[in-house]
Every structure is written in structure tokens, then in C-alpha cells.
Amino acid sequence: MALLELRNVIRRFGDFTAVNNVSLSIEAGEFFTLLGPSGCGKTTLLRMMAGFDVPDSGQILLDGQDIANTPPEKRPIHTVFQSYALFPHMTVANNVAFPLKMAGVASAEIEKRVEKALEEVQLSRFAHRFPHELSGGQKQRVAFARGLINRPRLLLMDEPLGALDAKLREDMQRELINLQKEVGITFVFVTHSQDEALALSQRIAVMNLGQIEQIGEPSVIYGHPTNRFIADFIGKINLIAARITQVSDKTMTLEINQLGTTTLPLKQDIKSGDQGVIAIRPEQVAVHALAKQVEIPHAYTGKVLDFLYVGDVTTYVIELDSGIRIEALLANSSPGRARFFEVNDPVIVSWPQEAIQFLLDQP
Amino acid sequence: MKRTNLTLWLAAGLVYIFLYVPLVIVVIYSFNDSRLNAEWVGFTLDWYYKLFNNQEMLLAARNSLIIAVSASLLATLLGTMAGLAIHRYRIRVLPFLVFAPIAMPEILLGVSLLLFFLQILNLTLGLVSIIIAHTTFCVGFVAIIVRARLQGMDDSIFEAARDLGATPWQTFRLITLPLIMPAVVAGALMSFTLSIDDFVITFFTKGIGEPILPIQIYTMIKIAVTPEINAISTLFMLLTLLLIIIANRLDSGILQEGKKS
């Protein structure tokens, strides 16, 4: 049985449906992420898991028990808030001790456990400081220590890394993965950052307009997005209009806008005449100097329109002769790369067949 | 540049002179050894001595203190609750209902309360009616201060408390109340100062034969401005000043903490 299961959960605010018929199940010990743009309903879903909000219909099952109407203090579920929500009038030690006090743990025991918890997050020296005397990273570690001290079944996190600067965020991401492995508690993480979701999660649920678009492992979500929204939202991607012209037992033939035809293995539910896009990740696109003159299948000539050098990689925008623009991501360490391309350099662009994904236009 | 600065200082100086010179004169003449408020004769504490032997005046002071303490306690209790409610339940009409008495002309409030007490409640006018009247106009001030404090705070703090196992009552006792305490105390002090020197509403809602300080002072002035009035005014001023300083301290404490978090 899944640890937490949502069945047909709906939540409306007036005319607006924030969460529209969401069903999902989260296994014990999992690092699960709800990913989506702001306003997609991910935070509302998290608040219903925590008990701050009640679904209009549907069930929220914890170990098979419906907890949709159980108040937050009665759920073995804790939350780490984006703002950390530390109690400003209490010391670090008292903040961390709070859940134990509420649970009626003996004070000698509380002292011992708080000491140990602060040691684990390297904050023993700060036990008697107040939250406003801590840095952002320290506050966050206190919030995690407080959320985990009485071993909840589930730890919910609402964009907890959002307020940290980039460098610290990466460190915290690593710490978070290790923390989750150590404590073995199920984490449910909410974020709008696809990088964070891909880096941290064992499974990701991509949300849009109150619904779940796709649930899967990060590599599946990134490599095989099931629709145009996901392809566009997760990472950068080239989208070119295409139409299915022919379908056989095992293959489908596409006519790509201005770029000729290609044949790919047949995908489910595709029929002749279907409209959609082909999606190709920028890092799958190869760029060659025109002078090379090698025979490459599915190669197109064009010129460099623009590029962005960011150190480890360079992103090129290339305009093909047909007028279509393609983004290509080239690692600056790639072997055989003799030189950078400059604006207006003539180039040949190609991609392997298996990099092409056909995605249907959404109705 | 220099010139505007000078004009500015001059204007500001004049404002403060008009504000404070009359007060300073009252204080000075309360120590003047003369019946007349005309010239300085010599230092004396006679007027204070006389004041503390004036039974009527002492009774008025006692009544005023009873009213101010009761009304400010009641207003603090109700106002805190109102402030919390306005913050939590976003009902549009609620803030209007609570804050309206602040903006209402006192004379209007006084007349309507008088009619309400006499014609609807059939209440005998006395200390109780004054306490109720004062409470009504103080509630709004407490509510405003408490709500301002809550608005400056992160609401997820209260959710976090529930999330970590606190019942609604525990959340209030352990988190909400300690955090809004400076605002509650500031509201109480403000109510006290508003109540103790209120004239208009007190005048309408007071009974016969129970002297109330501001009205007692007014009655004495009608006969003659004696140095005794200067003395009571000085004491009065001192008390108000003290409360304002305390309230101000608490208030700036609120601002400081707001900046930190």
C-alpha cells in the first residue's frame, strides 16, 4: 500500500479550480516532487496534504486512512515552509523542541534529542540564538531539524530553497538528498524550478492548470515528455511543427515543416493526419563548420544568428536556410571542437534520429 | 538652499513653540507662590498640597482611574479579539465596523450613546455607563494596533505551529499572544490615555454627583483659573507623558522586530 494516496482530489476557489481531479500515490521512503509553473495548483495540493486546506471532493489517504478532514496537528506530517516560519520569539533550541513539547515528551528526553538534532545539522553553537541572528542557510537547517525531530511519516517542503543564493542552493540540494537517505523519511517537495526537481527527486509529478501532466523519474520526464507543455517547461527544447503523413505497423512518417520527411518508430495513439511538433533537445543538436563537407543524414545548412557563452557551455541560435531557428548547446570541452563559431558563420546542423520526439498538439 | 533651510527651521520652531510653551507655562505656574497667573513670585508646593486635600478632586481622580483602567482592560480584550478576527477572516465590512467609532465625531458618539443607554437599555448613568462608552471608542484603536502587528508577520508561523502539533488554543497561547504582546500592551496604554482625558463622551454619559477628572477641572475653570488647576494639569500631563513614552517604546520595538524578520 502506498504511504500517501490522493484520489480524485478537487479544490475550487470561487470560479477558479486550483486542483482539478488529481490522483497520485507516494511510496514510503520516496523523494517525490510536485513541479509546475506558479498557479498550477502544486502549493494548494501540498496544503491539503498538510491539513491547512480541505479538498472540495476526493480522498487523501495516509496508510489507507482518509485524513482529508483531519486537522494539521493530528497528522504525522510536517512542513518546511518557504519562509522557514521559525518562531521569532523562541531560541533555536526551543524552536526545534516545539514538536516534542506538543507531543508531550518528557523534558529530559527533549533536551537530549534537541541536542542531538542540532549536532546533526551542525548548529549546536547556535542553540541559544534567536532566528533573526541566523543566516538564511542556518535558518533553513533549523527548519529541517524542527520538521524532522519527531520523525513524521512525511515531510512536506514548499520551495524551501527558493530564498537561497545559487551557490548555497546547490550545497543545500546535496545536503537534502543525503538527509533524506539518512532519515529515510518520505519527502514531498514543491518547486517551480525544473533544475531542482531533476536534481533532487526520485519521481516528479509535472503539474499544469490544476492537473498532473506526467508522473515519472527525472530522466523519463526530461527524455520522454508526453506532451508539448512538459517538453517546453522542463529544460530548453526546439519545437518544429510536423504532421503525420503515413502510419504503418511499426513506423510513422512525418513531414516536418520545411525540413522534409523522416520516419520514426510508431508511437501509441498516432494516426495519419495528426498535427503536432517534433521536439529536439539543444544538447542533441550537432553543429559543424560548413567547410567540412561530410555526408551527414538529416543535416541542414544555416548560419549562426547569435550565441551565448556561459563558461562551461555555449548556446548557439542558428537560422536554417528555410528560416527555422534552432538552438544548439555545445559543451566547451567537446573533443574535436577546434573553434567557436561566430555570428554569421555558415554551419551545418544535424541531429540523430533517436533524438526526435513527436508530440501531438493538445486539443 | 541655505535660505530654505532657515525658513524650514523657523517654521518648525514656531510650531513647537505654539505646541509646548502653553504647557510649560502651566507647569511653571503650578509652582508659583501667587493666586494670580500673572507674575512669578516664588517657588511653592502649596497648590499640590491643597490639591491633595481637596476631597472632590481626589474623588474625581479616583473615578477617572477606575474608568480608565476598566475601559482600557475591556477595550484591550475586545480590541485584540477584533484585530485577530479582522486579520484572519477577510470580511470586508468587519474593519469598517470596528474602526468607524474612531472616525466618528465624539459629540455624535456621545449623544447616541446617551440615547442608547437611557431609552433602550434603561441604564442609570454612572461609572458603568462611562466605562461602556469609553470601551466603545477605545476598541478600534487597540484593533488597529494589533492588526498592524499581525500584518507585519509571516502567517505561516501560525500554520507551522499547528503543523508541528499545537492545537488552535496552544497556537494562540504559545505563538500568537507572545508575538502580538507589544501591540496589546501599546493598545492598552493608548486606551488608558484616551479614556482618562476624555471630555465630550464622558460629559454625555456621566451621571449626576459623580465627579470625573476632566469635567471637574472644567467646572473649576468656569469660576477662575487657579494655580490648583495648574497643579492637577501638571500631574495629568506627567501621567500621560509617561504612558506615551512607554507606548512609543513598545511601538518602536515592533518596528525593529519587523525589520529583522
DSSP for B9-26, please give it.
HHHHHHHHHHHHHHHHHH
Indicate the residue of A83, A102, A147 with minimum beta-carbon distance to B156. A83
Shortest distance, CA B144 to any CA of chain A (angstroms):
22
Cβ distance A98 to B162 less than 8 Å, yes or no, reads: no
Q: What is the pLDDT of residue A157?
A: 93
Which of A247, A194, A240, A193 lies closest to A358, judged by CA?
A240
Average pLDDT of chain B, as a whole number:
86
**Cβ-proximal residues to A158 (8 Å cutoff; 6+ apart), any chain:** A43, A46, A79, A80, A81, A82, A190
When mean pLDDT is compared over A303-307, B80-84, B236-240, the highest value belongs to B80-84
Sorted by sequence, the CB contacts under 8 Å of residue B125 that are 6+ apart come out as B114, B117, B118, B205, B206, B207, B208
Q: What is the pLDDT at residue A90?
A: 94
Question: Mind telling me how many Å the CA of A101 is from chain B's nearest CA?
Answer: 9
Picking from A71, A89, A147, the nearest residue to B179 by CB comes out as A89
Helix or strand (DSSP H, E) at A108: helix A107-120
What's the pLDDT at A65? 92
* CA–CA distance, B6 with B8 (Å, rounded to integer): 5
Span B169-191, mean pLDDT?
92
pLDDT score of B260? 43
* Domains of chain A from N-terminus onward: 4-228 (3.40.50.300), 282-353 (2.40.50.100)
CA distance A192 to A41: 11
Residues A4/A26, Cβ–Cβ less than 8 Å? yes
Residue A264 confidence (pLDDT)? 84
User: Which among A287, A350, A343, A345 is positioned nearest to A313, based on CA atoms?
Assistant: A287
With a pLDDT cut of 90, the percent of chain B lying above it is 34
Say what the pLDDT of residue B261 is: 40
Total beta-carbon pairs less than 8 A apart between chain A and chain B: 65
Query: In this model, does residue B210 exceed pLDDT 90?
Result: no
pLDDT reported for residue B259: 41
The whole-number mean pLDDT for each consecutive block of 10 residues of chain A, a chain of 363 residues, reads: 92 93 93 93 94 94 92 94 93 96 94 92 92 91 93 92 80 86 90 90 94 93 89 88 87 85 82 87 86 69 88 88 89 64 87 87 70
How large a percentage of chain B has pLDDT more than 70?
94
What confidence score (pLDDT) does residue A292 get?
57
Q: Does the distance separating the beta carbons of B178 and A85 come in below 8 Å?
A: no
Euclidean distance between CA atoms B247 and A107, whole angstroms: 37
User: Helices B2-29 and B227-260, interaxial angle, to 10°?
Assistant: 130
Fold of B46-260: MetI-like fold (1.10.3720)
Tell me which of A102, A130, A154 to substitute to probe the interface with B (most B C-beta atoms closer than 10 Å).
A102
Q: Which of A151, A160, A169 is nearest to A76 (CA)?
A: A151
Question: How distant, in Å, are the alpha carbons of A22, A52, A156, A209, A230 from that of A44?
Answer: 11, 9, 12, 12, 20
Any alpha helices (H) in B89-115, and if so which ranges?
93-103, 106-115
Angle between helices B213-223 and B55-88 (to 10 degrees): 140
Chain B residues with beta carbon closer than 8 angstroms to that of A146:
164
d(CA A20, nearest CA chain B) in Å? 24
Q: Which sequence spans correspond to the domains of chain B? A: 46-260
- Residues A173/A199, Cβ–Cβ less than 8 Å: yes
Nearest to A72 among B157, B163, B179 (CB): B163
pTM over 0.90: no
Min Cα–Cα distance to chain A from B154, Å: 7
Distance CA A81, CA B193 (A): 41
Question: What's the pLDDT at A128?
Answer: 94
3-state secondary structure of B97: helix
Q: Which three cell numbers stand for residue A7?
A: 484520489
Contacts (Cβ under 8 Å, ≥6 apart) of A259? A240, A300, A320, A322, A324
* Residue B189 and residue B79 in contact, taking contact as beta carbons nearer than 8 Å: no
